């Protein structure tokens, strides 16, 4: 029998239960890795789409915006087929590993970061285009300048991506398998422990996940306020 009182959940957190801590640590490792990779790729993509005009640009913008709402289970299925033994990457044995979960979260987060970054950089480019042009700054050379000037807004974009990744359950469940000690993260553990009747661990993880989401939103708000005051 499990002790399912709310106090039991807070006791697990207070004494830093090894099982709870290992689940939280793996969750952060997977989400932070996925967001870091998506940021390194998504910001340049967003900046390039914002600054250059090319055939198919409008279609690409529509696709990026549409992919911001990708159903996680569809992404999980696609990554599963890609990494399964019959898939093109099956020989690497990545299925049901944290790497597979990072790939799935990366696919979910990349469109969010690229699409929102594109909007931020495009607005900034319209504002500073004439000034940068008068200084002889090319579009390619303008990218680092615009990214730095928009750093506060872009940090909010990255936090939005991390919020999506950390709260995701469908895709990581499909490609990770929710294996104890290997691929069990907060969201999948909450679902499993609730079904098992171990509500104390589920509630403990839920409290940590809610706290994480609250911290992300608070950070995004503070960054937004800092940016607004900086710009006057």
pLDDT digits (tens, 9 = 90+) for 155-193: 889 989 998 998 889 999 999 999 998 999 999 999 999
d(CA 122, CA 116): 10
Chain-centroid distance of CA 218 in Å reads 17
Per domain, the residue ranges of the chain are: 22-184
Residue 11's CB is within 10 A of a number of other CB atoms, namely 14
pLDDT digits (tens, 9 = 90+) for 74-113: 999 999 999 999 999 999 999 999 999 999 999 999 999 9
Provide CATH code, domain 22-184.
1.10.3720.10
């Amino acid at each position: 029998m499990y002790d399912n009182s709310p106090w039991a959940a807070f006791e697990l957190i207070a004494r830093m239960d090894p099982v709870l801590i290992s689940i939280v640590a793996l969750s952060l490792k997977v989400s932070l890795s996925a967001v870091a990779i998506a940021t390194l790729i998504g910001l340049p993509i967003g900046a390039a789409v914002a600054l250059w005009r090319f055939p198919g640009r409008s279609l690409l913008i529509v696709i990026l915006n549409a992919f911001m709402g990708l159903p996680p289970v569809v992404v999980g299925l696609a990554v599963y087929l890609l990494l399964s033994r019959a898939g093109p990457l099956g020989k690497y044995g990545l299925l049901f590993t944290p790497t597979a979960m990072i790939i799935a979260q990366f696919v979910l987060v990349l469109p969010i970061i690229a699409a929102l970054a594109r909007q931020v950089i495009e607005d900034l480019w319209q504002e500073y285009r004439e000034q940068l042009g008068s200084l002889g700054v090319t579009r390619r050379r303008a990218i680092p300048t615009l990214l730095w000037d928009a750093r506060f807004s872009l940090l909010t974009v990255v936090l939005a991506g991390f919020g999506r990744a950390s709260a995701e359950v469908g895709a990581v469940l499909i490609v990770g398998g929710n294996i104890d000690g290997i691929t069990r993260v907060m969201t999948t553990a909450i679902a499993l422990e609730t079904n098992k009747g171990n509500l104390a661990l589920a509630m403990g993880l839920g409290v940590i996940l809610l706290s994480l989401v609250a911290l992300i939103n608070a950070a995004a708000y503070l960054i937004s306020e800092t940016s607004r005051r900086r710009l006057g």
